[in-house]
């Protein structure tokens, strides 16, 4: 785990919060109820990726790991 500092708050986040399949196109819903927007996508090997989403309302970030079917 690492610490993240944002808006005078310090909290711990896990490197990967959830797992999904790569073909997934749905956007996650934030804990505040707003639809999150994708801000980054990083490849993991040949069949995986980590997508980072941010909420436009509360700035919460979420990292989703997508694994291939192989």
Kindly report, residue by residue over 3-53, the tens digit of the pLDDT. 444 555 554 544 445 556 566 677 888 999 999 999 999 998 888 888 899
Asked whether residue 41 is domain-assigned, the answer is: yes
Asked whether residue 5 is domain-assigned, the answer is: no
CA separation (Å) from 36 to 59, 61, 68?
Answer: 9, 8, 23
Asked whether residue 39 is domain-assigned, the answer is: yes
Residues in the chain: 70
Asked whether residue 38 is domain-assigned, the answer is: yes
Q: How many domains does the structure of the chain reveal? A: 1
Q: What's the pTM?
A: 0.64
- What is the rounded end-to-end Cα distance, in angstroms, of the chain? 28
């Amino acid at each position: 785990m690492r610490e993240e500092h944002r808006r005078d708050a310090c909290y711990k986040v896990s490197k990967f919060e959830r797992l999904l399949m790569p073909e997934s196109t749905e956007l996650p819903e934030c804990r505040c109820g707003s639809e999150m927007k994708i801000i980054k996508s990083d490849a993991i090997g040949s069949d995986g990726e980590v997508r980072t989403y941010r909420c436009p309302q509360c700035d919460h970030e979420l990292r989703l790991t997508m694994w291939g079917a192989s």
